A and B are shown apart, each in its own frame.
Chain A
Amino acid sequence: MNEELDLFIEDVDEQLTLMEDALVSMQENGVNDESIGALFRAMHTIKGTAGMFGFNTIVSFAHIAENLLSDVREGKVILTPQMIETFLQAKDHTQNLTNLAVNNEVIDTQTQNKNDALLEVLKSMLPNANSKEVVKKEDRKMQVDEDDGSQKIWHISFRLKSNFFSSGMDIINILSFFSMLGEVKNTLCIDSKVPNLEKINPTESFIGYEVLFLSDSSHADIEEIFAFIINDVELEIFLADDVVMLEALCNKEEGLKEKLISAGFEFVEKIQKNTSDKEKNFTEEAVFVEERILTEEPCTIQKHVTQELPSIQEAQGITKKDISKNFSLRVDSNKIDQLINQISEMVIANAKVSQRADTLDDNELSESAIILSDMLEEIRTSVMNIRMVQVGDSFNKFKRIVNDVAKKVSKEIEFSIIGGETELDKMVVEKISDPLMHMLRNSIDHGIETPEERKSLGKSKKGNVTLKTYPDAGTIVIEISDDGRGLSRDKILAKAIASGLVNESNTLKDKEIYNLIFSAGLSTAEKVSSISGRGVGMDVVKRNIEALRGTVEIDSKAGEGSLFTIRLPLTLAIIDGFLVQSGNTKYIIPLEMIQECIELDASHKKEMDGNAYINLRDSILPLVDVRNYFNEEKTKSIRENIVVVRYGDYKIGMMVDELFGEFQTVIKPLGEVFSNVPGISGGTILGSGEIALIFDIPKLMEHKIREIK
């Protein structure tokens, strides 16, 4: 699949998401102009881009949907809930057609039937289906403002830039696409710059086009056809009878006027006549002016010329869109990953320089290394920011899923998204999407009661499901909560005992029992539905979250609801770390989890009295002695330190020997052999070439909490 096709897929995905958001928003909040506009633009863009790739089935389908949306936009048709439902189906169908088209697959009978049925429904919603059909070519007359006054003849002039072919786009597809938006009256291929066979570099482009196009499309609509190649062509679009523009165009290229006339571009003939008349007038005027110069007003000619010039420039100003204005750029995420990897290597290399400067006691070098380190940190932050997206953009799609699932299981749901503006790495957002979808489905299918049940329990008929996101201590927290029946502690435990996951004499706490639902093969649903309840999901959910270096926890109260809390790291590649040493090994603690560092002095040791905790400002702080935990050798370190870390609601103190300070940490995986070392999530290379191990604080806490219990 080429790069352009990838961009097409991304573009269609984006437009379909916008479409779905608009539809769901109207389902929830009622019809509004803004959403209708968004809906229309999405369908219109899909039609345009699909046309550029020659995906005619998508174009034909989108064309009818767009026609209906155009009528809705103009107030000719009222958007009903049934219509919204149809457009939601149209959105799914367009996605399906796109998948088939990009994979070069033939449209199967089922899809074709769906296509025909949806087209029928959409057409039936048009106020007068026949009047909205594309006007047949033979019925079209070469005139401006035909019928309803919206048909115009456009002159489209474009030259392919020399590197056009490397864009991967075929201009023929674009030329073909014009005939779907209107009627191409004339196509003139400009080949004057094409060298002969001996001289041509066949991978360079020398071709240009002049096109006369009859359509009700606007300037912007036509320009959009060129959206993917706007930087690879020199483009002019203007109304065919715009004499000023035509003249300017003909003056730019020698012999163009004659070519256009002989090809039957009739408006050019008019300017020919116009010019002759003007020249005649101008000569007459000039003679008249010359006579006056000799007598009284020497500035008249100058005035005449300056009056002519701005009108041409203004006209060009309207048609030539400034393409250097702010624009967004789609970049393959692999390229950003590569950039992050390269920055990571630079960070390591700079750490070596820093180390060397210290060894040599070279202050100048040391200072330069510090400056470079600061600059690298800035670059790193900027690059990381490129990957950050607001979670709300992605989470909005859940609204539809919640609606669909609720309908299927006959439940009424009030779904809220809180903190949609929270930013998270795009890759993490994408990977967390499936687990979230699964958990939401579970909440609705099993958590929320039916309206009747809720009523009998004194609850509101509508169940509440909330997806909340917020940053906390260097992590992003995603909570899914519902006010349903809550998890059944006894059922989970019974099932776990029956399937041998735990034994009967267990002393598990409620929270631990709830967390058993993340074990493979454990489902307490009495009825297996198409939505959930097969027990093959929650274990996968947990695995997917852990693969993102995240954690998931459950809390539940019978009759009141459940709360799933997911914690995810902000970034996956480089973190700000704090370098410490214990025994002979250096370790990294994620800086954002650190609350404070304190010295483990004699009074603390006395307090401890052999126990693994201290009293920190009147609260108990459990301690993890890193040296003991990882069987490090004893060192002769004079000072012992406690680094207090927080994760979620928990705090622990990490007992270490040495504190070195902040360190930009490039996370390197430890490989399969060390992948299951508890409490270690990865490694990093220090400036000296030594390896430092990165603590997995959540895992260490989990271990400590279990130990305490």
Chain B
Amino acid sequence: MIIDKNELSIYDVEELRKELLTQLTSGEIKIDISHIEKVDMSVIQLFIAAKKSCIESSILFQLSNASEELHAIFEHAGCLSLLGVCDE
């Protein structure tokens, strides 16, 4: 799944949750976040919720190709290792 928005916020989380739920039923959640430059805490929280669901179902959760800006946001939010962001 590729998110092609530059910015995600509270206004996008309802829609994003639906998409993540669809991904969850497909057996894994792999998201290319290279286009995203800014997220707020509601989005980070949603990623954490998605990861929890993946762990419960023993399936893969992966956020990949974070931009420099997003990387810094995750770092400030103390979520870098929590979300397991990786480069593909």
- Listed in ascending order, the chain A residues whose CB lies under 8 Å from chain B are 160, 165, 170-172, 175-176, 179, 187-189, 191, 194-200, 202-203, 205-207, 209
Contact = CB atoms under 8 A, between A and B. Distances in A.
B18 to A, nearest CB: 10
B31 interface: no
A13 to B, nearest CB: 26
In this complex, the member of A160, A197, A200 whose beta carbon has the largest number of chain B beta carbons within 10 angstroms is A197
20 contacts: A160-B41, A170-B40, A171-B41, A172-B44, A175-B78, A176-B76, A187-B77, A194-B49, A196-B52, A196-B53, A197-B21, A197-B52, A198-B21, A198-B24, A200-B45, A200-B46, A202-B13, A202-B16, A202-B45, A209-B78
Contact of A188 (B50, B56, B78): B78
B85 interface: no
Contacts of A209: 78
A172 B76 contact: yes
A179 B73 CA distance: 13
A200 B79 CA distance: 18
Nearest to A263: B78
B79 A189 contact: yes
Contacts of A191: 45, 48, 52, 82
Contact of A194 (B24, B40, B48, B73): B48
Contact of A205 (B24, B45, B73): B45
B53 to A, nearest CB: 4
B66 interface: no
Q: Which secondary structure dominates where chain A touches chain B?
A: loop
A195 B51 CA distance: 10
Given A196-B49, A202-B42, 16 more contacts: A160-B41, A172-B73, A179-B76, A187-B78, A189-B77, A194-B45, A195-B52, A197-B20, A200-B45, A202-B13, A202-B16, A203-B10, A203-B13, A205-B41, A205-B45, A207-B44
A202 B16 CA distance: 9
Nearest to A211: B78
A206 B48 CA distance: 11
A197 B53 contact: yes
Interface in B4-63: 10, 13-14, 16-17, 20-21, 24, 40-42, 44-46, 48-50, 52-53, 56
Contacts of A160: 41
B76 A202 contact: no
Interface of B: 10, 13-14, 16-17, 20-21, 24, 40-42, 44-46, 48-50, 52-53, 56, 73, 76-79, 82
Contacts, number: 80
B41 A207 contact: yes
Contact of A189 (B13, B17, B53, B78): B78
A209 B76 CA distance: 11
Given A175-B77, A189-B79, A205 B21 contact: no
Contacts of A199: 49
B78 A172 contact: no
Contact of A197 (B17, B40, B41, B42): B17
A636 to B, nearest CB: 70
Contacts of B78: 175, 187-189, 209
A197 B14 contact: no
B82 A195 contact: no
Contact of A165 (B24, B42, B52, B53): B42
B21 to A, nearest CB: 6
Contacts of A175: 76-78
Contact of A198 (B10, B48, B53, B82): B53
B82 A189 contact: yes
A195 B46 CA distance: 9
Contacts of B48: 189, 191, 194, 207
A170 B52 CA distance: 23
A519 B26 CA distance: 77
A200 B21 CA distance: 11
A50 to B, nearest CB: 17
A514 to B, nearest CB: 59
A202 B17 contact: yes
List 10 tightest A-B contacts by C-beta distance, closest first: A187-B78, A202-B13, A197-B53, A196-B53, A189-B78, A200-B49, A196-B52, A170-B40, A176-B76, A197-B49
A191 B79 CA distance: 10
A197 B48 CA distance: 8
Contacts of A202: 13-14, 16-17, 42, 45-46, 49
Nearest to A195: B49
A12 to B, nearest CB: 23
A487 B22 CA distance: 80
Nearest to B24: A197
Contact of A203 (B14, B20, B56, B73): B14
A557 B43 CA distance: 70
Nearest to A197: B53
A109 B17 CA distance: 43
A165 B78 CA distance: 18
Contacts of B24: 197-198
A203 B45 contact: no
A187 B81 CA distance: 11
B76 A187 contact: yes
Contacts of B46: 197, 200, 202
